[in-house]
Structure 1
Amino acid sequence: MTSRGGLVLDSAQGWLTTAAAFVAMAAVFGVAYSFGAFFAPMAAEFGAGSGTTSLVFSITACCWFLLGSVSGRAVDRLGPRPVLLAGAVALAGGLLVTSTAERLWVAYLGYGLGVGVAVACGYVPMVATVGAWFDRRRALAVGAAVAGIGVGTLAGAPLAAHLIAVYGWRRAFVLLGLGGATLLVAAACVARRPPVMPGAPPRALREVVRTREFRLMYLATFLASTALFVPFVFLPASAAAGGVDPVAAAGLIGVVGATSVAGRLAIGALGDRIGRVRTFRACFALIGASFLVWLAATSLPWLVAFAVLLGVGYGGWIALQPTVMADWFGVRGLGAVVGLVYTSSGVGALVGPPLAGLLVDATGGYRWAIAAAGLCGWGAFLALLPLRARGTW
């Protein structure tokens, strides 16, 4: 436990809020990253191609990242509880609407906006809240909180595949919506806003966006997100096309989630020891390298290796990015800064899967889509090369 300016940080309430953040992120990302299991049955029922069906997920991811700047500001002003409750309403309502869709555009609105708003409420606000609760152990706490994303990813896709097999995709959406909303309400009951720290006011956003660090971070996040969301949409379908059992194919997303938990915890702690920028940059190199493995994959073990590499790199990226920004720009107003950076992820998510889907439809296979995503991953690594350590590193 440490203190600053007479205010206690790293307290028991901070760890309870970290646990609430873990649950909230597991709930919203468990639903969002289960879309790969819904992809094939929805495309078949609506008679839609890969590009148009993947747009459901792209709209979702675009919404949660673009709205992160709004929810980040909201948590700075209101605290986490009302933001999480709004996310619970959006999640349940959006999936209930999607379960009744007779046209694909209804899913664009119901799933895209409902789940998108829910993730925006459960992700950026909670990362910023946890980061502001901690000082000395900030990387560890944020890593523990965002490990909920990995657990949700691990459980969400296989659970969705099972529910679809037993109840059909429409009822599966209803069950996931109600269950996820219940977890968000529980998290809202536990989470508390951090103490207000004395000192200088937060940096103005117009000043932040002019910095070299912000611009490089924004570009790298855009390119990495363009790559990242391609496997979340197409990995199960591509594996099934290669002869992998559909449930096992959906389970590959779970492998990404499981290994991302290790990445979030281990790499977050490693960054405190050997330098956060250096470790952060290495995570992007690992993401780029993982797509080379996917491109060469000829069997399930190769696909598992790809999922492991992607999960570790992705987990480390997500764990370290908020702490890097906190050290650069301060913890006051952190929600707004994190949310603004993540708007680039929204654009990347909107661009990546549909373009990959068009490549799949045009070529009749997945190799060109995988190669294009891999180039974006390496581009993100190159964008971070000019960055240098700052502050306490």
Structure 2
Amino acid sequence: MKKEGDMMRRYHKAWTVLAVLCGLAAAAIGVSINTSGVFYTVVSEDLGMLRGAFAFHMTIFSLVTAISALFVPNLLSRYPLKLVLTFSVVMAVLGTALMAISSHLWQFYILGAIRGFSTGMFSIVTITLIINQWFKEKNGLATSIALGFSGLVGTVFSPIFSEVIVHIGWRGAYGFEALLIGLLCLPAILYPFTMTPEDEGSEAYGKQSLKNDQVIMSQDKNPSTGLSLGALLVFASLIGFMSSMTQHLPGYAASVGLSVTLGASLLSMGMLGNIIFKLVIGALSDRFGSLKATTVLLALALSGNLLLMQTQLTVFLLLAAFLFGSCYGLGSVSLALVTRDIFGDEAYGKRFPIISFAGNLGAALAFSIIGYIYDFTGSYFPTLIVLVVFLLISTISLFSAFYRRKMVREK
């Protein structure tokens, strides 16, 4: 009995909160975004649309997600967390279900906006705001677990959605997607927890052992801090652009004469990389800091991009897609950890929605731009060249942001 009591005292509710946040991440990112690529070719061909024109509904989705995320901190300060979650999840489920009965571009575009608005309220900004309140220690690990779960769902369900499309059509697959989103979000709606542990008379995990010098105070009026923000906005937008290419991997496979099955496998490998590298960067960040961890992922993303440009051998294409998945770790976990590291918990809620907006904007533009580049050139190679340039610029932006932070601390 004593041993049982000791275990209960060592257990912290923050880990259960993290578990339900995994469901939100899986629905908002893993299902809503990471499996969208399997629909591009089949829907556009069935309805006689350009691939880029159909993919534009995901541009709208990402853009509206970015806009809605800007208002998340204010909404969560004015309304109960559970109310915001319930409303947004219901909207996301209905918007996705209606995709199944749509036949015209304008319908997909409107539903893309509805889905983007709703998922933006329970996606990365909301998830990381809650994690930052509940985890003062192991914040990198907690962030990587929650956001890495989205990659797990993408890996598992991309081929499942492909099979569902084969057997009952893409309309049935959208209905299945709506049901899955609802089921994944249900634990977060039903499990009793608040935005901050203090609201329920508790305290964050690791708060007692947190040293004062571990807290980075914000200096909003310092010009160097403003330059750090600008550098991170560039970093976020370019990495966001790159992440959208992963959803075009099935189309890339088809464009070079490879099978549909291999195309779906490339997307799955990208999602596997999504999981692994999100976990890797969280662990590396807790141990070595977010700058070194992010630099490692940038190098891996560049390697995957270059390998994809140089080979058509199946084993190397799968490896390239796996390495390409590191861009998801960069655009979600890395971005959140870097923002927290540079600006601190105090300014995170103010800065991260803006930085996240830049990342979503980059992804939003890329969804259709990459499709249109293919439509007008017949190849994805020009896009891969652009991504190499973007990765180099992103690396420069990252180091610039940390250099400005160093200037702030030395003053």
**Category of TM-score, reference length = shorter chain:** 0.7 to 0.9
2:232 maps to which residue? 217
The reply to whether residue 98 of structure 1 matches residue 92 of structure 2 is no
- For the pair 1:53 / 2:54, whether they are aligned, the reply is yes
Q: Match of 1:34, SS? A: coil
1:206-285 equivalences in 2 (<5 Å): 211-232=226-247, 234-285=248-299
1:305 aligns with 2:319: yes
Contact 1:84–1:122 under 8 Å retained in 2: no
Q: Which residue of 1 aligns with 2:20?
A: 20
User: Residues 157 and 149 (structure 1 numbering): CA distance in 2 closer, same or farther, change over 3 Å?
Assistant: same
| Cα distance in 1 between the residues matched to 2:221 and 2:49 | 42
Distance 1:45 1:208 in 2: 53
Note if contact 2:14-2:134 (Cα within 8 Å) is conserved in structure 1.
yes
Change (3 A) 1:313 1:80: same
1:7 is matched with none
- Quote the offset at 1:344 in angstroms: 0.5
Aligned residue identity for 2:107: V
Distance verdict in 2 for CA 1:385–1:361, change over 3 Å: same
The aligned counterpart of 2:362 is 348
SS of the residue corresponding to residue 345 of structure 2 reads coil
Q: 188, 192, 195: which is aligned to 1:193?
A: 195
**Aligned pairs (5 A) from 1:135-150:** 135-150=136-151
Q: How does 1:177-192 map to 2 (within 5 A)?
A: 177-190=178-191, 191-192=193-194
Runs ≥4 residues deviating over 4 A? 196-200, 202-210, 389-392
> C-alpha separation between the residues in 1 aligned to 2:252 and 2:157?
19
* Partner Cα distance (1:153, 1:81) in 2: 26
Q: Quick check: 1:65–1:120 contact (8 Å CA) kept in 2?
A: no
Which whole-Å CA distance do the structure 2 matches of 1:15 and 1:281 have between them? 28
Provide the rounded CA distance (Å) in 1 between the counterparts of 2:140 and 2:46: 45
Instruction: Provide the rounded CA distance (Å) in 2 between the counterparts of 1:240 and 1:164.
Output: 17
- Structure 2 counterparts to residues 102-141 of structure 1, below 5 A: 102-115=103-116, 117-141=118-142
* CA distance in structure 2 between the partners assigned to 1:102 and 1:313 by the alignment: 33
Output the CA distance in 1 between the equivalents of 2:222 and 2:17. Answer: 30
Measured in 1, the distance between the counterparts of 2:186 and 2:313 equals 42
Are 1:339 and 2:341 counterparts?
no
Q: Whole-Å Cα distance in 2 between the matches of residues 150 and 349 of structure 1?
A: 16
Give 1:375's aligned residue: 389
- Structure 2, unmatched stretches of 5+, are 1-9
**Deviation larger for 175-184 or 72-81:** 72-81
Q: CA deviation at 1:329?
A: 2.5
Could you report, residue by residue, the CA deviation over 1:40-77 in whole angstroms, capped at 9, with x for unpaired residues?
A: 11111221112212212221122222221122432344
Amino acid at match of 1:293: L
Query: Mean Cα displacement is larger for which, 49-58 or 15-24?
Result: 49-58
Tell me which residue corresponds to 1:31: 32
Contact kept in structure 2, 1:290 and 1:309, CA below 8 Å: yes
Q: CA deviation at 1:113?
A: 2.6
**Alpha-carbon distance, 1:211 to partner:** 1.8
Task: Give the direction of change, closer, same or farther, for the CA distance of 1:79–1:295 in structure 2 (3 Å limit).
Answer: farther
**Structure 1, 53-62 or 80-89: larger mean CA deviation:** 80-89
- The CA distance in 2 between the partners of 1:208 and 1:181, in whole Å, is 44
TM-superposed deviation, 1:271: 1.7
Q: Work out whether 1:158 is the aligned partner of 2:159.
A: yes
Inter-CA distance 340–52: structure 2 relative to 1 (3 Å threshold)? same
| Cα distance in structure 2, aligned partners of 1:336 and 1:98 | 34
Displacement of 1:206 in angstroms is 7.9
CA distance 1:161–1:281, shift in 2 (3 Å): same
Percent identity, please. 19
1:15 CA displacement: 0.9
Amino acid at match of 1:92: V
Q: Give 1:161-172 correspondences, 5 Å limit.
A: 161-172=162-173
State the TM-score, normalizing by the size of structure 1: 0.88
What is the rounded CA distance, in whole Å, between the counterparts of 1:280 and 1:79 in structure 2?
A: 34
Look up the equivalent residue of 1:23 and give its one-letter code.
G
Deviation, structure 1 residue 236: 0.6
Q: Which residue in 1 is equivalent to 2:4?
A: none
What's the RMSD between the two structures over aligned residues? Answer: 2.8
Query: How far has the Cα of 1:371 moved from its partner?
Result: 1.6
1:86-111 superposed Cα distances (whole Å, 9 cap, x missing partner): 23112211112211112111011113
Deviates more, 1:270-279 or 1:188-197: 188-197
Unaligned 5+ residue runs, structure 1? 1-9
User: Cα distance 1:266–1:236, how it changes in 2: closer, same or farther (>3 A)?
Assistant: same
Letter in 2 for 1:343: F
